[in-house]
Amino acid sequence: MSDNNATLTVGGATKDYAVMDGSVGPQVIDVRKLYANTGMFTYDPGFTSTASCESGLTYIDGDEGVLLHRGYPIGQLAEESSFMEVCYLLLNGELPSKTELDDFITTITRHTMVHEQLTTFYRGFRRDAHPMAIMCGVVGALSAFYHDSTDINDPVQRKIASHRLIAKMPTIAAMAYKYSVGQPFVYPRNDLSYTANFLRMTFSVPAEEYIPDPVIVDAMDKIFILHADHEQNASTSTVRLAGSSGANPFACIAAGIACLWGPAHGGANEAALNMLREIGTVDKIPEYIARAKNKDDPFRLMGFGHRVYKNYDPRATVMQKTAKDVLEKLGVNDPVFDVAKELEQIALNDPYFIEKKLYPNVDFYSGVILSAIGFPTEMFTVLFALARTVGWVAQWNEMISDPAQKIGRPRQLYTGPTQRDYVPVEKR
Ligand code: ACO
C-alpha cells in the first residue's frame, strides 16, 4: 500500500481511495469501494485502465519494450534457458536446481500419453476441421477423462492437472495435425525432449524413423519460451474469468484456447503469414502500407501493433533472429522473409506507424519460421496454445491461491429501454 491516497469528489462528497504499489510498474487505485461510496461504476471497455488482479508472474513495460517472467528478461530466457525450465519457473516462482529440473522433466514426460479413448473424439470431427476447433473440443473433454484432478480446492489435484495439461498438449496438438492430414497418430517417446517429442509426433510416420534436427528443436523451443506467458492478455483473462466460477482446469484452458483463436490475438500469426504471402513481392509493399493507413479500409498490417507494447515487442527481436537461423539451416529461400524484413523497415520509418507507436509484434516473424519448419498455417495458433498453456495454468493457480479472488463479474452502463409493460402479440 502506498502512503498516497487518490481523492475523488462525486456530487459534492469527497472520498479517499488507497493507492497500491507493485514491485515495479504503475501504481493502481483501489476502487473496490467506489460503488458503495458513490453509486457509480467505472467505464473501461477492453479494460485498458483496469488491473483485474494482483500477479507475480509476468511484467511488461510496453513503452520500453520490456518483458520479464518472474523477473527474468525474455531475451535471456530465450537464449539461455529451455522451455521446460521456463515452465518450472512460471509454475514455481524460481529457477529449478538441476535435480528439481530433472524431476520436473520426468514428471512431465510421464504424463504425455492421453487416454486411448480420447482418440475416438478426433474421429467425430470432419477431416477439414480447423485444428483450433479440435483443440477446444478435445481439451475441454479432458475433464471427462481425468476426474481425479478436477477438485480445484485441492492443491495436489491442481498440480497434477497443471502437469497433465502441459504434458498432454503437444500430444493433443500433434494428433489434431495428424488427423487433418489423414496420417496415423504417433505415440510420445520418453527418451526425447519435450520439444523433440512434439516434432516427432507431428512429422514422423510409422514407415520410417524421424530424427529431429537440433536447430529446429532449438528454434521451436525458443518459440515456446517466447509464447509461454504474457500477463493479463485476452486469453489469460478468459482462463481466469472462467476459473473464477470454480470451473475445472481443463474447461478453463479450453475457454482460453477459444479466446486465443481470434485474429486479433493468437490467430494473428496465421493472418500475418497469409498477408505476407498475399503481398508476395517487395514492390507491392507500398500498396499495402497505403491500405493500412486508409481509414476507410478495414485492412490492418497483421503482426503489427500491440495493446501494451508501444515499442518493439522484445519477443519479435528474438523471433527475427530465429527466422534467419532456421531459413539458413534449412536452405529455404522464402521470399516472404524478404517481404517481412522490407515491410518492417518501411513501416518503422512511416510517420503513421511512428505516431501510433505501431511496431512488429511476436507474430510478425513466427509464421515465417513455422512455415519453413513445415507447419501448415492452421497449426500456428495451435502451437501458440501449446506454449501458452503453462502461462494459463500458472495464472489459474495463482488466482485460486489468492485470498482476494472473487468470481469475475463486470458491471455495465445500461443504455437499453427502461421498464415497460408486456404487450400481448395480438395487440402489437
Ligand atoms: N495496422 C494499421 N493500423 C493499426 C494497426 C495495424 N496493425 N494496429 C493499430 N492500428 C491503428 C488503429 O487503426 C488505430 O488508429 P486510430 O487511432 O486512428 O483509430 C490505432 O492504431 C490504435 O489501434 P487500436 O485498435 O485502438 O489499438 P489496440 O491497442 O486496441 O489494438 C491490436 C491492438 C488489436 C493488436 C491492433 O494493433 C491490431 O489489430 N494489430 C493487428 C493484429 C495483430 O497483429 N495482433 C497480434 C497481437 S499480439 C498477440 O496477440 C500475441
Tell me the best of 358, 380, 381 to mutate to test the pocket of ligand 1, counting ligand atoms within 8 Å of each CB and taking the most: 358
In the chain, the percentage of residues whose pLDDT exceeds 90 is: 82
CA distance 86 to 73: 11
Determine how many CB atoms are found less than 10 A away from the CB of residue 32.
Answer: 12
Per the listing, cell 500498396 goes with 287
pLDDT, mean of residues 260-286: 90
Residue 75 cell numbers, joined: 531475451
Residues belonging to the active site: 306, 363
Q: Is 146's pLDDT higher than 70?
A: yes
> What's the Rg (C-alpha) of the chain?
23
Binning pLDDT at 50, 70 and 90, where does residue 166 land? very high
Q: Is 140's pLDDT higher than 90?
A: yes
Q: What is the mean pLDDT of the chain?
A: 94
Residue 287 cell numbers, joined: 500498396
> Ligand 1 mean position to 226 CA, how many Å?
20
pTM of the complete model: 0.91
- The angle at the Cα of 220, spanning 215 to 222, to the nearest 5 degrees, equals 95
- Name the helix (H) or strand (E) containing 66: strand 66-69
Residue nearest ligand 1's atom 49 by CA: 265
pLDDT of the residue at 1: 60
pLDDT, mean of residues 318-333: 87
Helix (H, G, I), strand (E, B) or coil at 182: coil
Residue nearest ligand 1's atom 9 by CA: 305
The answer to whether the beta carbons of residues 148 and 157 sit under 8 Å apart is yes
Residue nearest ligand 1's atom 44 by CA: 303
pLDDT in tens, 411-422: 999 999 999 999
CA distance 371 to 393: 28
Residue nearest ligand 1's atom 32 by CA: 306
pLDDT of the residue at 265: 84
pLDDT in tens, 17-36: 999 999 999 999 999 999 99
pLDDT in tens, 188-239: 999 999 999 999 999 999 999 899 999 999 999 999 999 999 999 999 999 9
Q: Is 147's pLDDT higher than 90?
A: no
Q: Is the CB of 357 under 6 A from ligand 1?
A: no
Q: Is 2's pLDDT higher than 80?
A: no
pLDDT in tens, 61-89: 999 999 999 999 999 999 999 999 999 99
pLDDT of the residue at 115: 95
pLDDT, mean of residues 109-128: 94
| Phi (first) and psi of residue 230, to 5 degrees | -160, 55
pLDDT in tens, 349-404: 999 999 999 998 888 889 889 999 999 999 999 999 999 999 999 999 999 999 99
Q: Is the CB of 306 under 6 A from ligand 1?
A: yes
Lowest mean pLDDT among 52-56, 145-149, 170-174, 243-247: 145-149
> Ligand 1 mean position to 304 CA, how many Å?
7
pLDDT of the residue at 336: 87
